[in-house]
Chain A
């Protein structure tokens, strides 16, 4: 018997596989048994009702996709009345993803969703901060500190900060989030991208630009997960491009204690459960009794110089 359970701070998950925000909803229960997941992570919500971005909101690029869904939201009350009760029928920790355009609004919604039935709050700080210059909070350590401090004082629940791959200051942002009280880091959100139809010369997304997700994001998110695991004490949850059991093992070796699966669910709705079975088999056949034996086991002793220079590597 292998032990698939993993700890994210004070929270123990039955297994390390959970969905990524925005790629999962109640609807998946029609295809897959939601009991089997390590946690349930909901689509980011905002305080007010929002419509989201113009269509087309998705397009595919070689072996991956771009999206500009935005954050259509039915508001907090709808979420508390409908979504939380749905998930509370499952004995699986519920992680609620929230966002806002200013630090104060963010703190307010954080307080509003700190209700019984919620196990942790994932704070999507990869969204634009309209009080500053419109850049996402997670682009800079200073804005990360400001928003995380306000969030920390708004809730006693575990706070998972979701980082953005669009920053050049991954380590500084990760450390800022930790210092301001984050309980875990989710690494990472989508990478800002673009695609143009060469026949019509129009951008393929209604919003012109959107976030890259899927297999081509993996090396970038994996690099970030590694950097974060090296530079903070709090757990790192790997996210980006996972579609095989080898991808999961790679994230664990890089230092992640759990993973989120996003776009792969669109291709194979059953994938999270399939991966869970494969992970168990992987560990069994290699006599690894506990996934913690894998976590952070990367053999990077000889690479000190490249670690120092990794931000500026050509």
Chain B
């Protein structure tokens, strides 16, 4: 399948000087709910030629309380060359993201990017399906933007603990996606229900490609469904990073390429990989 070839390490297209370390200015940094915040930056054109699924490596500020050292990788949530804008949707988890949360309008933030290989939408993929939970929504959102631009149909299955932390529903809808929400609280987010929903879509409209993020559970589900119906898919993965540029080799994960286990750098060969080659962890 073409997906596998596309990801051969040697063939990854170099960004050819499209990666820049730049200073941006904070426009807004607002809470989305109790856990997540949306950061909107005024960014130079040089870094706004982005692909959905790519990420930036962010130099979080050092504050009195927080002293992050390494950069933090964050998926691009939104980008607009027209508005000169770059957005990140992030969960406040530790030192770096707590420091990010302190940024206010007018503050500067040093970002490096865009980095990595993003999602693909092949020409003959008309019906797209994405399955997202938590922070995965941030990573998958630009895919909806791209699907709209390319005039493809997209159904977004958004999963969360409860309705309060479901995010980006309006965002997906405004981009023309059909949204299906499932929550733990309603008992609708279990694997069997997800499987039924996806199988239902395959049987009705049909699904040409599936996309997901980060979770082992969802990976396995989409691998099974993909194998059964011969539907290709892509997954965006996470790993600890230092350089973000492919230099240090710290961000590797294992992949199964036609029976051979290989190690690939999430920052460079990824963060988006073919679903069939990703390995549960």
Contact = CB atoms under 8 A, between A and B. Distances in A.
Nearest to A262: B248
A72 interface: yes
Interface stretch (A60-68, A181-189, A287-295, A304-312): A60-68
A265 B70 CA distance: 10
Contacts of B241: 58
Contacts of A72: 249, 252, 263
Interface of A is mostly: loop
Interface string B1-33: 000000000000011111111000000000000
A55 B68 contact: no
The interface size bin for chain A is 20 to 34
Contact of B69 (A27, A56, A64): A64
Interface of B is mostly: loop
A24 interface: yes
Contacts of A61: 69
Best-buried of B17, B20, B21 by chain A (most CB within 10 Å): B21
A265 to B, nearest CB: 7
Interface in A89-129: none
Interface stretch (A7-15, A157-165, A223-231, A266-274): A266-274
A269 B17 CA distance: 13
Contacts of B256: none
A232 interface: no
Interface string B240-266: 111111111111110000000001000
Contacts of B16: 30
Interface of A: 22-25, 27-28, 30-31, 43, 51-52, 55-65, 67, 69, 72, 214, 263, 265-270
Given A266-B242, A266-B244, 19 more contacts: A22-B248, A25-B246, A27-B246, A28-B245, A28-B247, A30-B14, A30-B15, A31-B21, A51-B263, A55-B253, A58-B248, A63-B67, A65-B69, A69-B249, A72-B263, A263-B242, A266-B71, A266-B243, A266-B247
